[in-house]
């Protein structure tokens, strides 16, 4: 029963999440209750656990005997009968409080004198236990100094005496920015080993992968070491990876985190790291029980010339705008972030600007030889992306690079920034322009779609959707584009919400737009990619039906 009490009190006070409780429930035994398990996992502070345990013990004592509750009146004290607890159907824990059990505001709960009690409603723990058997309990909750009612366990743990409010402190710690925030470049000299195995250091593995122009590395227990080259995966070790190897690599990676983050068993995360001599990389860790799986995306160490992307000529006009909004979209791993930073640095190399980036997280450190560059990472240098956009508007940034847009609130603020005079480049998701635009409008209520259409028509200057495709015979990768410059015709279509007409408008304006299928056709005819790759990515696969794998195998 104690563990059920602990689960309810910890969850209702937002000290742990439902997922954390469920994940650690199986680790409970006769020697370790839920609180001790969470403390050992680094999820719960030991001092907080002690305070929660003291309170739970009082609940256990009250569950045995239900005393009569006295109510203190201004003139006299009356004794009232305690109504029996009411059983309710077993609910499921939700992330938001139940509307049937509103939280009592803190200001409403008075502190009781030391020797008196205040009448409160009886509550029942029956049916409120998602982790064990239903145990009906009738408990009278006193208003004790340092404790108050909440929405689930009707108790929240408050600070005692001069000690600060525990819940407030927990929220502050969650929202607080790290003390360390300097971002390292990873510059230096590191010699690439001739071969690698699970005993090789992480720096050696990264240096080896860079030497072979790999873009990704995958390290998982019980599997061979795997890396991605030119979009294809290859094994590069003949020995299996085990947990000890992964723990060693993870400990080495922690030395390269800008915020000093220390990995904790069971907590998934994604961060950039910088190790001397091997540059910067993005590390994503996913836990399976107590075993981590590492996915590493190597970040280019040097700037890429915009000429190497072979953009449609009209896309270069995006760099000359003084204000407006330009979208860079495409599937994951298509080089959107690289395109974003390259455009920003190209602008900075040609005119004096104040360049500000908002990234999740920072990848490559940028150069601005003729002006100022400020790079902010959400969670490291700023609390939220929304506050970062507001700061960029207040700072008067000439160019804003935003990577990656996840919410409609961010879109509204980015439109506001463009309206305020900034040239905004934003990374979004979508395999084609129509799909991206449709998704943006579907993210807002129908009553607001007209306003969003008008705002996009006024501020959007262009869209670039890119696909990274393997070149024939494994000679690298090349980009295919669907892009458009927002002309008055396209702006009118957006304003009217007639998005389905945009593909036809792009095809009609050859010097102001390019369809994905036209780009793929050009790459096939030039011999850069094979027809199957074009057929797989085409907006209209019928155009490339001759390259269908089945038809191609028959010699058609």
Rounded mean pLDDT, 349-354: 92
CA dist 108 and 129 (Å) reads 28
Going from the C-alpha of 369 to that of each of 250, 332, 351, 366, 428, the distances in angstroms are: 36, 30, 9, 10, 28
Res. 271: pLDDT tops 70: yes
**pLDDT on residue 93:** 41
Range of lowest pLDDT (21-30, 239-248, 326-335, 479-488): 21-30
- What confidence tens digit (pLDDT) does each residue in 409-459 have? 999 999 999 999 999 999 999 999 999 999 999 989 999 999 999 999 999
Max mean pLDDT among 96-110, 151-165, 179-193, 539-553 falls in 539-553
Residue 118: pLDDT band (50, 70, 90) is very low
Provide the pLDDT for residue 162: 41
CB 398 within 8 A of CB 420: no
Q: 216: helix, coil or strand?
A: strand
Mean pLDDT of the chain: 80
pLDDT digits (tens, 9 = 90+) for 131-149: 444 444 333 444 434 444 3
Q: Is the pLDDT of residue 364 over 50?
A: yes
DSSP three-state, residue 46: helix
pTM, whole model, 2 decimals?
A: 0.65
pLDDT score recorded for residue 120: 38
Q: At what angle do helices 2-12 and 46-64 cross, to 10 degrees?
A: 120
User: Which one, of 339, 508, 362, lies nearest residue 426 by Cα?
Assistant: 339
What is the H or E stretch that residue 48 is in? helix 46-64
Which one is predicted more confidently, 266 or 322?
Answer: 322
CA–CA separation, 93 and 65 (whole Å): 28
H or E element that contains 39:
helix 34-40
Phi/psi-derived region of residue 309, left when phi > 0, alpha when psi is between -120 and 50, beta in every other case = alpha
Share of the chain above pLDDT 70, in %: 76
Using alpha carbons, select from 421, 425, 416 the residue that is nearest to residue 390: 416
Residue 166 has pLDDT above 50, yes or no: no
The yes-or-no verdict on residue 341 having pLDDT over 90 is yes
Q: Say whether pLDDT at 217 is over 70.
A: yes
- Give, for 346, the enclosing helix (H) or strand (E): helix 336-350
Residue ranges of alpha helices (H) inside 255-322 are: none
Domains and CATH numbers, the chain: 2-175 (no CATH), 202-298 (3.30.450.90), 306-514 (3.40.50.300), 516-556 (no CATH)
Between CA 118 and CA 73 the distance in angstroms is 9
């Amino acid at each position: 029963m104690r563990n059920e009490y602990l689960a309810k009190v910890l969850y209702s006070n937002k000290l742990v999440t439902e997922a954390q409780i469920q994940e650690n429930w199986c680790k409970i035994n006769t020697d370790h209750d839920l609180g001790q398990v969470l403390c050992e996992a680094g999820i719960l502070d030991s001092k907080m656990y002690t305070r929660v345990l003291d309170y739970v013990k009082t609940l256990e004592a009250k569950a045995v005997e239900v005393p009569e509750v006295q109510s203190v009146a201004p003139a006299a004290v009356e004794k009232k009968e305690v109504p029996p607890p009411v059983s309710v159907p077993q609910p499921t824990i939700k992330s938001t409080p139940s509307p049937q059990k509103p939280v009592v505001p803190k200001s409403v709960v008075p502190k009781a004198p030391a020797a008196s009690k205040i009448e409160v409603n009886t509550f029942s723990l029956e049916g409120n236990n998602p982790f064990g058997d239903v145990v009906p309990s009738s408990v009278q909750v006193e208003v004790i100094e340092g404790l108050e009612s909440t929405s689930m366990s009707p108790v929240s743990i408050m600070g005692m005496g001069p000690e600060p409010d525990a819940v407030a402190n927990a929220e502050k710690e969650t929202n607080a920015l790290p003390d360390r925030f300097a971002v390292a470049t990873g510059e230096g000299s590191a010699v690439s080993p001739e071969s690698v195995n699970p005993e090789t250091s992480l720096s050696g593995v990264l240096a080896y992968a860079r030497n072979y122009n790999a873009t990704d590395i995958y390290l998982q227990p019980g599997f061979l070491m795997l890396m991605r080259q030119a979009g294809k995966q290859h094994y590069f070790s003949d020995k299996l990876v085990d947990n000890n190897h992964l723990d060693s690599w993870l400990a080495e990676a922690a030395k390269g985190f800008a915020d000093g983050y220390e990995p904790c068993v069971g907590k998934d995360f994604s961060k950039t790291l910088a190790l001397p001599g091997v540059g910067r990389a993005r590390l994503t860790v996913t836990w399976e029980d107590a075993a981590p799986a590492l996915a590493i995306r190597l970040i280019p160490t040097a700037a890429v010339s915009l000429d190497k992307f072979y953009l449609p000529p009209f896309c270069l006009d995006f760099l000359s705008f003084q204000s407006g909004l330009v979208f860079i979209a495409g599937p994951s791993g298509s080089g959107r972030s690289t395109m974003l930073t390259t455009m920003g640095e190209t602008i900075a190399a040609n005119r004096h600007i104040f360049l500000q980036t908002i990234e999740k997280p920072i990848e490559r450190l940028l150069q601005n030889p003729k002006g100022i560059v400020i790079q902010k990472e959400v969670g490291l240098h700023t609390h939220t992306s929304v506050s970062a956009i507001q700061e960029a508007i207040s700072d008067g940034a000439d160019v804003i690079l935003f990577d990656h847009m996840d919410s409609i609130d961010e879109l509204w603020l980015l439109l506001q920034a463009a309206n305020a005079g900034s040239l905004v480049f934003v990374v979004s998701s979508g395999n084609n322009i129509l799909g991206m635009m449709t998704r943006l409008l579907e993210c807002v209520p129908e009553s607001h779609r007209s306003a969003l259409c008008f705002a996009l028509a006024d501020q959007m200057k262009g869209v670039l959707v890119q696909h990274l495709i393997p070149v024939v015979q494994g000679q690298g990768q090349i980009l295919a584009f669907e892009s458009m410059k927002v002309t008055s015709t396209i702006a009118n279509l957006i304003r009217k919400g007639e998005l389905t007409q945009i593909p036809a408008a792009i095809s009609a304006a050859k010097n102001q737009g390019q369809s994905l299928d036209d780009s793929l056709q050009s790459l096939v005819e030039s011999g850069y990619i094979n027809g199957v790759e074009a057929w797989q990515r085409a907006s209209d696969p019928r155009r490339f039906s001759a390259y269908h794998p089945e038809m191609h195998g028959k010699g058609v």
